[in-house]
């Protein structure tokens, strides 16, 4: 082309480019979100937990919308695993390879978590647990891509054992569902309670999905225990508490739970008042930050946050801080380095991410279920708070000092 035309084109191009550059940059910014994958159990028997992870993420997405992380928007991609480990791995792989996520969270079952976490070194993505309690995840099955923000099963058992060591109750019956968590929890409880010079007068392992606990209730009554330690998953616990109340045994034997869920309180209602136990996140924690969170949560979802709602939110907030600190959302190794040893001021109190096994050291809460006219259902009242170093096991183990 001739020189004049060339100059004209160049001038127009230059002008256009200089005008267009901010637009281009803006578009690039909008097209470069930080993606967080959530392969959660959104259907099937565990859907009530998957939905908590999703609710927390939705609130977090709204809260962070204004400034984003590193100036970038955050995008959550949800996938339904139906509570099946094979599907969980498949969905997680899709999230990593097709959607390009570098962060996975929201996994519900420990079996799903173990399967997905084992793949993370291969995929080079961070797995953030906010729900999974299995001790093995930070012990036998640990890998450096795994981070656990939530209170683990052993930590919950530890908190309640510390409380019971001081309490007047001396004789306990232990009821754990016949699967990994139930058995581990009872074993942990038993060793800690006997170390506190108290007695476990009986234990039983009903199959998962038991719908009639009458015989177990009879056994508890016969054992003349003063307290009954329960490590039953959500629905089984609901059924047990209801039936125990119907048998009138809750007047004589105090139900003690390794996790006290709001879901139980909503469904069982007043029949559960008086139950004590460990809570990973009791929404009644009285700090300004938490009160504000509970209000925002209730405004958005119409219900009060349960344990996994709170812990998932805390995990996401912490992850955002850590990504900000590492100044990258792509270089996973840098994020891991930034996270190890970092502290975070959460809704329930301070957190510290241990470098040796990526378990977040945090406060342990023992709560009692009480009636409160401010709320439509019973709520957890905090009875005791234990500092993190007292309730967290030794590195890469499930034992306590």
Partner 1 sequence: MAFVAEQLLNALALAALLFLVSAGLSLVFGILRVVNFAHGVFYMLGAYFAFTAVTVSGQFWLSLLLVPPVVGIVGALLEASTLRFIYRRPPIYQLLLTFGLALILEESVHVLYGPTAKGVDPPALLQGSVQVLGAAYPRYRLFLVVLGVAVGVAVWLFLTRTRAGLVVRAVAQNSEMADCLGADVPRVRTLVFGAACALAGLGGAAAAPMTTAYLGMGVGVIVDAFVVVVIGGLGSFGGSMAGSLIVGAAQTWGAFYLPETAMVIMYAVMGGILIFRPWGLFGQEE
Partner 2 sequence: MTLARTRALALAALAALALLPWVLARHQLSILVDLLIFGLFAMSLDLIMGYTGMVSFGHAAYFGLGAYGSALVLIHFEPPIPVALLAGALLAGVVAAPVGWFSTRATGIYFAMLTLAFAQLLYTVAYKWRDLTGGSDGIAGVPKTTLFWGGPSLAERRTFYYLVAVIVVLSLLACHALVRSPFGRALQAIRENEHRFVSLGRDSRPFKLVVFVIAAAFAGLAGALFAPFRGFASPEVMFWVLSGQGLMMVITGGIGTLVGPLIGAMVFLLVQEILSSYTEHWMIFTGAVFVLIVIFLPGGVVGAARRWFEARA
Under the criterion CB under 8 A, does residue 219 sit at the interface with partner 1? yes
Q: Does 84 bind partner 2 (CB under 8 A)?
A: yes
Task: Answer for the pair 48, 89: CB distance below 8 angstroms, yes or no.
Answer: no
Q: Which does 157 bind (CB under 5 to 8 A by kind): partner 2, partner 1, none?
A: none
**359 within 8 A of 148, measured Cβ to Cβ:** yes
Q: Is 171 in the site for partner 1 (CB under 8 A)?
A: no
List, in sequence order, every beta strand (DSSP E) within 184-261: 199-204, 227-231, 254-257
Q: Kindly indicate which of the ranges 39-47, 59-67, 214-222, 243-251 contains the residues binding partner 2, using the contact rule CB under 8 A.
A: 39-47
Of residues 269 through 288, those in contact with partner 1 by CB under 8 A are 269
The encoded tokens of residue 261 equal 């869920």
Q: Which of 90, 170, 266, 334 binds partner 1 (CB under 8 A)?
A: 266
The distance of closest approach from Cβ of residue 206 to partner 2 in the complex, given in angstroms and rounded to an integer, is: 13
Strand partners, 176: 231
CB of 82 to partner 2, least distance (A): 8
Asked if residue 376 binds partner 1 (CB under 8 A), the reply is no
- 93 contributes a contact to partner 2 by CB under 8 A: yes
272 touches, from partner 1, partner 2, none (C-beta below 5 to 8 Å by class): none
Distances (CA, A) of 258 to 102, 217, 231, 291: 32, 18, 6, 25
Rounded CA gap, 84 and 365, in Å? Answer: 31
Residue 313 is a binding residue for partner 1 (CB under 8 A): no
87-106 b/e (C-beta count within 10 Å ≥ 16 → b): bbbebbeebbeeeebbbbbb
The answer to whether 57 touches 50, Cβ cutoff 8 Å, is no
CB closer to partner 1 out of 271 and 360? 271
Kindly state whether residue 255 participates in binding partner 1, applying the rule CB under 8 A: no
CB 314 within 8 A of CB 130: yes
Of the candidates 132, 77, 130, which has an alpha carbon nearest to the alpha carbon of residue 100? 77
Identify what 141 binds: partner 1, partner 2, none; CB under 5 to 8 Å per kind.
partner 2
> Segment near partner 1 (CB under 8 A), from 57-65, 199-207, 278-286, 348-356?
199-207
79 scored as a contact of partner 2 (CB under 8 A): yes
Could you say whether residue 212 binds partner 1 (CB under 8 A)?
A: yes
Q: Are 378 and 358 in contact (CB under 8 A)?
A: no
Spatial distance between the Cα atoms of 305 and 298, rounded to a whole number of angstroms: 7
Interaction between residue 218 and partner 1 (CB under 8 A): yes
Residue 397 is classified by DSSP as S
Q: Which does 98 bind (CB under 5 to 8 A by kind): partner 2, partner 1, none?
A: partner 2
Residue 170 site contact among partner 1, partner 2, none (CB < 5 to 8 Å, cut-off depends on kind): none
Q: In what order do the strands lie in the sheet with 34-40?
A: 74-80, 34-40, 103-105, 126-129, 146-148
Identify which range of 28-36, 128-136, 263-271, 293-301 contacts partner 1 by CB under 8 A: 263-271
| Residue 353: strand, helix, or coil | strand
The residue (of 263 and 314) whose beta carbon lies closer to partner 1 is 263
In the shown chain, the binding pattern of residues 22 to 61 toward partner 1, with x for contact by CB under 8 A and - for none, equals: ---------------------xxx-xx-xx----------
Residues 6+ apart with CB under 8 A from 277: 160, 230, 255, 256, 257, 258, 259, 260, 366, 367
Query: Residue numbers of the site for partner 2 (CB under 8 A)?
Result: 42-43, 47, 79-80, 82, 84-87, 89-91, 93-94, 96-98, 110-111, 114-115, 117-119, 134, 136, 141, 178-181, 183, 208
Query: Residue numbers of the site for partner 1 (CB under 8 A)?
Result: 43-45, 47-48, 50-51, 178, 204-207, 209-212, 214-216, 218-219, 222, 235, 238-239, 242-243, 246-248, 263, 266-269
């Amino acid at each position: 082309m001739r020189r004049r035309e060339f100059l004209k084109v160049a001038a127009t191009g230059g002008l256009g480019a200089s005008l267009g550059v901010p637009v281009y940059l803006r578009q690039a910014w909008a097209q470069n979100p930080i993606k967080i994958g959530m392969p959660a159990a959104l259907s099937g028997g565990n859907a009530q937990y998957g939905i908590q992870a999703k609710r927390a993420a939705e609130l977090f997405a709204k809260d962070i919308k204004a400034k984003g992380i590193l100036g970038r928007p955050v995008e959550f991609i949800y996938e339904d695993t139906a509570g099946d480990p094979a599907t969980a791995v498949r969905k997680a792989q899709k999230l990593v390879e097709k959607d390009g996520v570098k962060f996975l969270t929201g996994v519900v079952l420990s079996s799903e978590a173990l399967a997905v976490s084992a793949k993370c070194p291969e995929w080079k993505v961070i797995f953030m647990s906010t729900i999974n309690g299995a001790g093995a995840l930070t012990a036998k099955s640990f890998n450096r891509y795994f981070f656990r923000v939530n209170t683990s099963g052993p930590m919950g058992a530890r908190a309640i054992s510390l409380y019971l060591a001081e309490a007047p109750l001396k004789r306990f019956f232990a009821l754990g569902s016949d699967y990994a968590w139930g058995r581990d929890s009872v074993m942990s409880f038993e060793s800690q309670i006997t170390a506190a010079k108290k007695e476990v007068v009986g234990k039983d392992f009903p199959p998962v999905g038991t719908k009639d606990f009458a015989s177990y209730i009879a056994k508890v009554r016969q054992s003349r225990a003063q307290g009954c330690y329960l490590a039953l998953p959500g629905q089984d616990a609901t059924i047990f508490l209801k039936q125990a109340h119907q048998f009138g045994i809750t007047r004589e034997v105090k139900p003690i739970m390794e996790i006290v869920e709001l879901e139980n309180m909503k469904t069982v209602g007043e029949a559960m008042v008086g139950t004590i136990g460990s809570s990973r996140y009791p929404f009644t924690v009285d700090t300004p930050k938490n009160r504000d969170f509970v209000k925002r949560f209730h405004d958005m979802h119409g219900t009060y946050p349960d344990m996994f709602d709170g812990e998932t939110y805390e995990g996401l907030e912490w992850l955002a801080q850590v990504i900000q600190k590492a100044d990258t959302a792509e270089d996973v190794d840098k994020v891991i380095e930034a996270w190890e040893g970092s502290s975070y001021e959460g809704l329930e109190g301070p957190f510290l991410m241990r470098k040796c096994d990526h378990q977040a050291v945090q406060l342990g809460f023992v709560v009692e279920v009480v009636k409160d006219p401010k709320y439509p259902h019973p709520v957890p009242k905090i009875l005791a708070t234990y500092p993190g170093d007292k309730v967290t096991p030794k590195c890469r183990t499930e034992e306590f000092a």
